[in-house]
Amino acid sequence: MSLNLRIFLAYFMILGVAAYLLLDVFMSELKPGMRQSTEDALVDMSNLLAEMVTREYIASPDDLRHLTADMDSFLQRSHKAKISSINKQTSDIRIYITDAKGTVKYDSARRDVGKDYSQWNDVYLTLRGQYGARSTKSDPDNEFSTVMHVAAPIKHKQQIIGVLTVAKPNVTVQPFIEMARTNIQKRGLSLVLLSLIAALTLSFWLTRSIRKLVKYADAIRCGQQIKVPALRETELAKLATAIDDMRRELEGKDYVEKYVHALTHELKSPVSAIKGASEILSPQMAAADQSRFIGNIQYEAQRIDEMINRLLALVTVEKQDALEKVERLDLIPVINQVISSKQTRAAKCSVTITSEMPSQLFISGDSFLLAQAIDNLLQNALDFSPEGGTISVKVSPGIQTSILIRDQGCGIPAYALDKIFQRFYSLPRPDSQKKSSGLGLCFVKQIAELHLGSIELDNNKEKGVCARLTLNLT
């Protein structure tokens, strides 16, 4: 299981459990809270009515005609009230009054007058000076048939002479409970969805730096030159730096070993040639032979010098993870300068260099390195171009800037196509059959990668080679 998924599941479970517990507590408290609110209103109502009916009850406890008329009018009244989305048309309040013995003297429902209510909690407790209330099922088999009864004492000269009870079915508040429950469930679902989004966002945010670090490690494994990622987390930033230091240490050791072997192998040939020529060369030798052997020694010495200089330049470029000097430059003058520097050599070989490019093309990069890369490609084209041949240089601007250099030489043999970018690998020049240092194209490749681009060499359909240098720092 990925770290991203683990963080997501852990955070979502924490939020989910917290939301569930919160909603569970809220839902469990919703119904009692609604009924407590209703009971509070009934307490006020029962005490108000008890005060209002006291005089009439003292005067004629068995004939409460005014209360009866008022209650009948009240129960017949049409309320036409809309509470939230619930319509309330009539009242379902019931009021009954008992005397000091608990006998019912008045009942707004007209069904229990004369009955003994002295053992009901609302009457029993109120007659003893306590708070009297009860909740009783009107239908023993129906749990929703409970009726709340709240009583208040009727007093005369500080003596309790009766009890007034206001009763209201709990089912009347059930629509409000259901409406609140539905709203809470909707909000709860929204909370869960928000928690899901928050968990996804958090897990993505927390693992972003780790993904950068993994990408960096994969790039190192593939041998790519890549910058150390900038990480905000101190610990991960230290880890990235440690990985980079370790990479540099390992690459340094491997780099030295590899180049020592390669350079030793490549130097064997010119050193052997110099040694052989120097051993044969003598004052008694004919002037023509002396000149030839001295020329061989000079050529091999120049080859060693060129190899070392190119190798040093390549080492400098290969050690860079990114360009050290980036400037906004016009690429066209850089290319024209390289072409101009090759015109003398081209004239000697009777080679024509043509160009097709815009008047100006601004990119970001290192002008010196770009000139070195183009110079290498153009020099290769000159080395392999036949007498009277043509070299074309074409620049194509766009999201990626492409520089195409085509020659009319013999092309690249099939066996060499996958080796031409290897260090010290070189093909013999057509005119002299001698090889170069084999570092030029490798140098060009490193420069292209520093400019986030690439270099490709392919044979033309007719003859010759097409070198495509692509740059992405536009």
Q: Do both 303 and 357 map to the same domain?
A: no
Residue 158 lies in a domain: yes
Counts of helices then strands in the chain (DSSP H, E): 9, 14
Supply the mean pLDDT for the chain: 79
Mean pLDDT of 448-471: 86
Q: Where residue 448 falls among pLDDT bands split at 50, 70, 90? A: confident
Nearest one of 207, 200, 187, 190 to 12, comparing CA atoms: 200
Report the amino acid identity of residue 466: C
Distance (Å, rounded) from C-alpha 67 to C-alpha 264?
122
Top pLDDT among 28 and 161 is at 161
**Least confident range of 141-155, 185-199, 371-385, 443-457:** 185-199
Q: Do both 419 and 472 map to the same domain?
A: yes
Q: Do both 59 and 13 map to the same domain?
A: yes
Cα-based distances in Å from 155 to 48, 50, 58, 65, 418: 13, 8, 9, 20, 112
Q: For the chain, what percent of residues have pLDDT higher than 70?
A: 78
Distance (Å, rounded) from C-alpha 210 to C-alpha 227?
15
Query: What's the pLDDT score for residue 310?
Result: 58
* Length reported for the chain: 474
Q: Do both 57 and 139 map to the same domain?
A: yes
What pTM did the predictor assign? 0.42
Query: What's the pLDDT score for residue 428?
Result: 64
pLDDT digits (tens, 9 = 90+) for 308-326: 665 565 556 555 666 767 7
Q: Where residue 233 falls among pLDDT bands split at 50, 70, 90? A: confident
For residue 438, pLDDT over 80 is answered with: no
Q: Which of 321, 339, 362 is the last residue of a domain?
A: 321
Beta bridge partners of 327: 365
Q: Do both 397 and 333 map to the same domain?
A: yes
For residue 1, pLDDT over 70 is answered with: no
Buried b / exposed e over 68-101, threshold 16 CB at 10 Å, is eeebeeeeeeeeeeeeeeeeeeeeebbbbbbbee
Which letter does DSSP use for residue 57 in this model?
A: H
Q: Which domain holds residue 64?
A: 3-179
Residue 469 phi/psi, 5-degree rounding, is -100, 115
Mean pLDDT of 104-111: 90
For residue 262, pLDDT over 60 is answered with: no
Mean pLDDT of 252-263: 52
For residue 219, pLDDT over 70 is answered with: yes
Residue 348 lies in a domain: yes
Mean pLDDT of 24-36: 69
Distance (Å, rounded) from C-alpha 346 to C-alpha 389?
10
For residue 263, pLDDT over 60 is answered with: no
Mean pLDDT of 405-428: 77
Q: Tell me how many domains the chain contains.
A: 3
